[in-house]
Structure 1
Amino acid sequence: MAGIVIGRFWDTRTESARWRRDQKTTSYQRYAEQFQALYEATRLAAFADSRTDTFAALVEHARSSTFPVWVNALSAVWLHGSSEVVTAAMQLDQAVTDLFYGVADRTVSELNWDTARTPARDAFQRFIVSARTELGLPLVDVAFFTEPRSQARTTDAD
């Protein structure tokens, strides 16, 4: 009888640990997905002519549709993430928010996009590294983003 009680206790504890791990994984994945959506919405607005209604519509769409989903994903990371991942998520939130407001305020455009987006890209990379570390996944020796052709170093072979 004692073996059954101990076994059931162990099963419950193991299931609880799996549930917590699954919640972390899901929240980190969702946050990464929503970063991609917000980043793309911001890029589209940056590349639009700021004198057109299209620009205003893209900014409004990001503000009213993309940001609320982003904030929901961030909330899930806050609930389930480790302190390191939450810190990286907040740094990413600040970087992507700054990028968006730069676009909305028309200080970031297609002309300076490659430079202006660097803090958000770097913050996303830090978030990915901290999430992979938290989940016990091996680190990968590549960056999620590659340098645009205009900023890539050239060699004699190029």
Structure 2
Amino acid sequence: MSAALLAAIAGIIGLAFGRLWDGRSEASRWRRDQKTASYQRLAEAFIVLYEEIRSVALAEPGTEATLDAVDRTRLDKTWDNALVAVWLHGSTPVVTEACSMDLAVTELFYDAQARLFSIEDWSRARIPPADAFERFIEIAREELGLSRASIKLFPHTPS
């Protein structure tokens, strides 16, 4: 074989290997970006859901305004959609913590519908979802290779 032919074959092999490598790198970046975006969406959705639940908890049960707030919260699928994205793209530890967070906000939502909360009651009742949220953020940051950051969602709430 001539040197030119060998060089052409080597170039083709190099090009094919390069494209394969680029494709794998691109797929890896896409998965990382999807994971990061889903974690961010769930964190944002938590804040929105938390405020919706707070509105229900601090309102008189059974009133039209409270029933409307409950309906709005149930019909708002932001939380559910964000949770599904984490289920699809997240690692097992993050998915597990997202499920714990979901359970905590669901329990808080049902409690909020059952009675009128005082400010003190609300401050205590919100601790389990806040703790789950903080653990979710901690595990997600660790997985994404971000440095540890101590966050406290409600710094004024006693433990």
- Provide the TM-score with structure 2 as the length reference: 0.86
User: Where does the alignment leave 5 or more consecutive residues of structure 2 unmatched?
Assistant: 1-11
Give the number of the structure whose alpha-carbon radius of gyration is greater: 2
Q: 1:83 aligns with which of 87, 92, 102?
A: 92
Is 1:20 the counterpart of 2:28? The answer is no
Is 1:57 the counterpart of 2:79? The answer is no
Question: 1:40 & 1:69 partners in 2: Cα distance?
Answer: 13
Report the structure, 1 or 2, having the larger helix content.
Answer: 2
Report deviation, 1:97: 0.4
Question: 1:40 & 1:99 partners in 2: Cα distance?
Answer: 12
In 2, are the aligned partners of 1:99 and 1:108 still within 8 Å (CA)?
Answer: no
Is 1:7 the counterpart of 2:14? The answer is no
Identity of aligned residues (%): 49
Question: 2:63 & 2:81 partners in 1: Cα distance?
Answer: 30
Report deviation, 1:57: 1.3
Residue of structure 1 equivalent to 2:46: 35
Report deviation, 1:50: 2.4
Is 1:116 the counterpart of 2:125? The answer is yes
SS in 2 for 1:100: helix
Structure 1 residues 95 and 108, CA, compared in 2 at 3 Å: closer, same or farther? farther
SS in 2 for 1:138: coil
Residue of structure 1 equivalent to 2:4: none
Q: 1:94 aligns with which of 75, 92, 103?
A: 103
Aligned length: 148
Runs of 4 or more above 6 Å deviation: none
Question: 1:64 & 1:109 partners in 2: Cα distance?
Answer: 26
SS in 2 for 1:112: helix
RMSD: 1.6
Structure 1 residues 61 and 110, CA, compared in 2 at 3 Å: closer, same or farther? farther
Superimposed CA distance per residue, residues 85-128 of structure 1 (whole angstroms, 9 cap, x where no aligned partner): 00000000000000000001227454400000000000000100
Question: 1:81 & 1:7 partners in 2: Cα distance?
Answer: 29
Structure 1 residues 30 and 142, CA, compared in 2 at 3 Å: closer, same or farther? closer
Report deviation, 1:143: 2.3
